[in-house]
Each structure stands twice: as structure tokens, then as C-alpha cells.
Structure 1
Amino acid sequence: MDYTTQTSVRADFDDVVETTIGALEDEEFGVLSDIDLRATFAAKLDEDFRQYRILGACNPSLAHEGLEEDSELGALLPCNVVVYEGDGGAVVVSAVDAAALVGITDDPALESIGTEVRDRFERVLATVDESFDR
């Protein structure tokens, strides 16, 4: 089962992170958390790891609508978007497929929200693509 949608670009890692955050903001998502796994693994495990950031993205109006329908939906929020060093110098941006994610709730009332989030994330990835040479 596919549970993410992604793109990869050849660009500076930090520039891709900033572009991704900007594209999320354009789609009305705030980044509630920004987890730097490289720094965390270095500090906690004394391990070197590739650059890898987990951005916890939330669109407040869509989250509110979903939580009004199902209070347990909060266990699936925020939706994660990851930016990491891929193979061969590429930087990968990967977003959860929110339609697949909310599909596990088996609640038809949430389907449109999942589809809306997925569509917005696809536009975020398109913006990243357009911002950098592939």
C-alpha cells in the first residue's frame, strides 16, 4: 500500500526545507513541529545520520472539521512531511497520503478532508519541483 507521495530535486538541503515550508504556508498549513533527526541521533545516540527533517504540518480549518466529526482523528495529526537526503545527491520531499491515512478510520465523512489534504500536499510537491531543477 502506498502511503506517501513524493518528489526529489537536486538542490541545497536547507533551501528545499525552506521552500517546502513556504509552499505549505501557501496551502494554509502551519508547521507545528520540526524534528531534525540528524541532530537528535547525534545528541541522543552519538550516531551520524543523513539530513532528515520531519515537518508536522496542520491546516487548522481542515483539522477542526475532521475533529468535529471524529475526536480520535487527533491521533493521526499533524500530517507529516519529510525532507531528507536521498541517493545520489537528491533531496527527497515526501508527504503522507492523507486520503490513505484517514481511510483507516473507515468513516466516509472524513474522506473529503483526506482528499483535500492530499491534493494540497500534491500542490506543495509541485511547487518544490518548479522551484528547483530536477
Structure 2
Amino acid sequence: MNFHYTVETDKSIDETVKALETTLKEEQFGVLWDFDLTAKLQEKGMDFDSPYRVLEVCNPKEADRVLKEDKVIGYFLPCKIVVYEDAGKTKIGLPKPTTLIDLANNEKLTEIATDVENRLIRSIDQAI
């Protein structure tokens, strides 16, 4: 079982992030934070020059559901989607929520994570 989902797009990093913001809204997810990891590493003196953005995304209704079931699951929130350049290609990916939630061994949480994962993957697929 693969712990992540990753696809390529012909869009630029910025175009991909804008497209994701739109498709995520359609699934009731918002981007809480758009973290430019490249800029932060360079600010700290690192020689990392490959574009790499981390989007922290959340659906408040789903976050509320999982936290009411088990507050420890908040350790896994918010969900992350990364947009980065690799070998001249723009890639979009996420760690699968089901992989993390499976650690909790709770069937109700697994059902919620499966739904969230499917919606996030659908958002990514529509953004490419």
C-alpha cells in the first residue's frame, strides 16, 4: 500500500496552487496556509533552489467530526498537499489520510479518512 498519492501536471507551480484553491473549495476545503518551503530554507541559508510549496488544507466539518471521535487525531491535522518541481515537472501530492488514521485502529475514523482522502484526490485530479 502506497502511503501517498502523487501526480504530474504541465502547469506551473503558481498555476497549480491557484487551480487547487478552486477545486478544494468545491469539496469544502480551504487552504489555511501556503508555505513556501524553498523561500524559508533559503532564508535560513540553505542552498535549496527547487520550488516546493506545502498547502495546509482543512474542512472544518470533517475536522470537528474526527476531533469529537478522538482528540489525538488532531496530531494529523490539517491535511497537507505539496506542489513541487522535480526533474522539470510540476508534481502534486499528499500523504494519504487513511495511512495516518489507520494508526488509530478506529473504524469510524477510517471511514471519515477514506471520504476525506477521496475528496482530496478528486481535487488534485481536477486541478491538473
- SS of residue paired to 1:102: helix
Amino acid at match of 2:81: V
Q: TM-score, normalised by structure 2?
A: 0.94
- State the one-letter code of the partner of 2:3: Y
Q: Which amino acid aligns with 1:70?
A: D
Give, in angstroms, the shift of residue 50 of structure 1. Answer: 0.6
Is 1:8 aligned to 2:8, yes or no? yes
The equivalent residue for 1:30 is 30
SS in 2 for 1:66: helix
- Aligned-residue identity in percent: 31
Structural mapping, 1:56-75, within 5 Å: 56-75=56-75
Pair 1:124 & 2:97 matched: no
TM-score (norm 1): 0.90
The whole-number CA distance in structure 2 between the counterparts of 1:23 and 1:86 is 23
| Counterparts of 1:118 and 1:46, CA distance in 2 | 33
Q: What is the deviation of 1:112?
A: 0.9
| Correspondence 1:80-99 to 2 at 5 A | 80-87=80-87, 89-99=88-98
Q: Which residue of 2 aligns with 1:132?
A: none
| Offset of residue 86 of structure 1 | 1.6
Deviation at 1:46, TM superposition (A): 4.0
Instruction: Give the deviation of 1:49 after TM superposition.
Output: 2.2
- Kindly report structure 1 stretches of 4+ aligned residues shifted beyond 4 Å: none
Structure 2 runs not aligned, ≥5 long: none
Residue 48 (structure 1) shift: 3.2
Q: Could you list the runs of 5+ residues in structure 1 that have no partner in the other structure?
A: 130-134
Is 1:104 the counterpart of 2:120? The answer is no
